[in-house]
Amino acid sequence: MKTEILKIQPDNIDSEKIKYAAEVLRGGGIVAFPTETVYGLGADALNENAVKKIFEAKGRPSDNPLIVHITGKESVDGLAAVVSPQAQVLMDRFWPGPLTLVVEKSGKIPSAITAGLSTVGLRAPSHPIALALIREAGIPIAAPSANLSGKPSPTASKHVIDDLYGRVDVIIDGGDADIGVESTVLDVTTDVPVILRPGGVSFEQLRDVLGNVSIDPSLMKKPSEDFVPRAPGMKYTHYSPKADVIVVEGEPQKVAEKINSLIMEYQSKNIPVGVLATEQTKELYKGIPYITLGDRLEPETIAANLFKAFRDFDDIGIKVILAEAINNEGIGLAVMNRMKKAAGYNIIKAT
C-alpha cells in the first residue's frame, strides 16, 4: 500500500490537506492523525469494512474494542442509545479532551468496533487537527492508537511512520502529542462510574465532579486469558518496547540502590541495560544509559515522555529497561498502568 505523509501545522491548519484526508476516510481508507494524547489510526466508524482495515494494519486482536471520535456532545445522538445525566455533566466538563465515555451503543455502531459488546466508547479530542479532520469528514471516526499492536503508543509522527508506513493510506504529521498517554476510559453505564483505563483525566478530577467513582479491579493485576475487555488496553500486553521492562517500586533512594544492583547483574552477563530515571534520581546512575522521564513532582512531564523513551531505548539496542515507579496520584496512575502493562506485571519491590 502506498502511504502519503501530509505535514500540517496545528496552529496553521492547511484546509486542502484536511479535505484530502477526510475524502480518504469517507472513501473507506485509514488515516493516522495526531490527538492531544497520542496519534490515532482512524476509519469511518459506520463502515465495518473500513474498521476492519484498522485491525489488519495494526495486527490488533478482534476482541479489543475501539473508541469512536466525534466533535462533541452534539454528535452523540444516534451513536449512544442512552446518555445518562452523569454522562452529560462529564461531557460539559471534560469535552473536548482526554476522556472517553463508555455508553450503551445504538444500532448504528458496527459490532467490529465494540468486539460484540453492547457498549461503545465515545470521545471528543481537543487537538485542532483531529477536530478539523472529524468535522471535515462529517462522520464519526473509530481510532485506536496508530502503532503496531502491543508496541508503545506513538507520540510523534516518526513513531507512526516506523510502525505503519506501507500499511495505511495517509499519515498526518502534526508534531508531538502533548499528554503522551491515552485518554481515560470511564464506564458511565453503572450507578457508580468505573475507570476502565486511567489516562489524561485523573481519578481525582473525576471524583471532584462526580463525588463517587471507582477503579476497575482488573487494572491492578495481570488479566487471565479468558478475560473479556470492556475497553482498549485492559487485556493484552500493551505499550511494550522490544526490550524487557522491569518496574522497581519503593522509596526513591531504595529504588535507585536496587536498580544499581540489577545493573551490575546484567552487566556481568553482557546484557545491555538502561534506566528510566527522574530528575530527582538521575545522578544516582553512573556509567549506564539512562533517560530522564521528568520530574516526580510534575508527573505530567513523565507521562509526556514515557512512550518515546521506550522507543529510544529500542533504537540503541537496550535489552532490559529498569523503570522507576512513581506515585499513583493524578496522571501518575496512568503512567504506572502503562509501565506495568509494558513490563507484563514484572514488578520488583525495593526494600
Per-domain residue ranges for the chain? Answer: 4-220, 244-349
183 is in an annotated binding site: yes
Region 235-257: mean pLDDT is 88
37 is in an annotated binding site: yes
197 is in an annotated binding site: yes
Q: Is the pLDDT of residue 274 over 60?
A: yes
Please state, in angstroms and rounded to a whole number, the distance separating the CA atoms of residues 247 and 151.
Answer: 17
Share of the chain above pLDDT 70, in %: 95
Asked whether the domain spanning 244-349 has the same topology as the one spanning 4-220, the reply is no
Give φ, ψ of 265 to 5 degrees.
-65, -45
Interval 209-231: pLDDT, tens: 999 999 998 877 666 555 555 66
3-state secondary structure of 342: helix
119 is in an annotated binding site: yes
What pLDDT was estimated at residue 230? 63
149 is in an annotated binding site: no
244-349: which CATH architecture? 3-Layer(aba) Sandwich (3.40)
What pLDDT was estimated at residue 226? 54
Q: Give Cβ neighbours of residue 248 (< 8 Å, ≥ 6 apart).
A: 255, 258, 259, 262, 322, 323, 324, 325, 347, 348, 349, 350
143 is in an annotated binding site: yes
64 is in an annotated binding site: yes
To which CATH superfamily is domain 4-220 assigned? Answer: DHBP synthase (3.90.870.10)
Torsion (CA) 32, 34, 40, 43 in degrees, nearest 10: -50
305 is in an annotated binding site: no
185: closest CA among 271, 239, 120, 139? Answer: 120
What pLDDT was estimated at residue 233? 55
Whole-prediction pTM:
0.94
189 is in an annotated binding site: no
122: enclosing H helix or E strand: strand 119-123
Q: Residues 180, 35: contact at Cβ < 8 Å?
A: no
19, burial (CB in 10 Å: exposed 0-12, middle 13-18, buried 19+): middle
Q: Where are the beta strands (DSSP E) in 183-317?
A: 184-187, 194-197, 214-215, 244-249, 273-277, 290-292
311 is in an annotated binding site: no
